[in-house]
A = this chain, B = another copy of it.
Amino acid sequence: METGTESRSERKRKALMLAATELFLEKGYDGTSMDDVASRAAVSKPTVYKYFSDKERLFAEIVLASTSSMVGLVNVISETMGGQPAAEPGLLRLARQFLTALMQPRVLQLRRLVLANADRFPAVGRSWFEQGFERALATLATTFQELADRKLLQVDDPLLAANHFVGLLLWIPINKAMFTGDHRSSPEELERFAVAAVRAFLSGYGPTKPVARPIPATQRRKR
């Protein structure tokens, strides 16, 4: 019985968060009232307050849930890198899946909503950064250290390497989507970003480095 009650309660909590997420993304934080949330989730207003003491709390929990799912993704992919004989295939899989997950319109919109309100609710932005960003990077750093121990990467500072991997991968596509509102990157574009980031990362952090890379024909002509 206890379990049944808990699970119903958990379901209702999730339904409320889903309704509130839709509303925040449609109407903004200020444009959404707890009344709207109750109405969208088809519950009474006291029920909403039973689960969330106020709108800011509700917003904070939505943000936290979103970061958790991102961290979960990084965890899962990082684990699969353990048994591989080379770093590249795992890094590519990580790059593709991470990029695809972060480029979902809903994730980008929520990210923009957090940024828009970071001055007013610094705790929410901070939780997104610390619980999302920093936790995902810490997981990556552990994975990179393991790959370095197995001589599949050369890494002096694993956390810095994790930061660099993510910066190479995400800076352009995320900013483009965030600023231009254009969320429709084609699978081919995402693939190009993923391959380029992994290649650049491995040319800096890979186990062996060529003494000089072949000079492409376009540059060779000039010399």
Q: With the chains together, A99 CA to B120 CA distance in Å?
A: 25
A212 close to B208 (CB less than 8 A)? yes
Shortest Cβ gap from A128 to chain B (Å): 5
Q: With the chains together, A148 CA to B201 CA distance in Å?
A: 19
Counting from the closest, the 4 A-B pairs by CB-CB distance are: A167-B171, A116-B116, A204-B204, A129-B179
A154 close to B212 (CB less than 8 A)? yes
Total copies of this chain within the assembly: 2
A77 at the interface (CB under 8 A from B): no
A213 at the interface (CB under 8 A from B): yes
Q: Which single residue of chain B is at the shortest CB-CB distance from A159? A: B172
Asked if A164 meets B211 with Cβ closer than 8 Å, knowing A115-B115, A115-B178, A179-B128, the reply is no
Shortest Cβ gap from A133 to chain B (Å): 7
Given contacts A167-B170, A203-B203, 19 further A-B contacts (CB under 8 A): A112-B115, A115-B116, A116-B116, A118-B178, A119-B181, A122-B180, A126-B179, A129-B175, A133-B175, A149-B222, A156-B213, A157-B196, A160-B200, A163-B171, A164-B168, A203-B204, A207-B212, A208-B211, A209-B210
A114 close to B211 (CB less than 8 A)? no
Q: With the chains together, A128 CA to B148 CA distance in Å?
A: 40
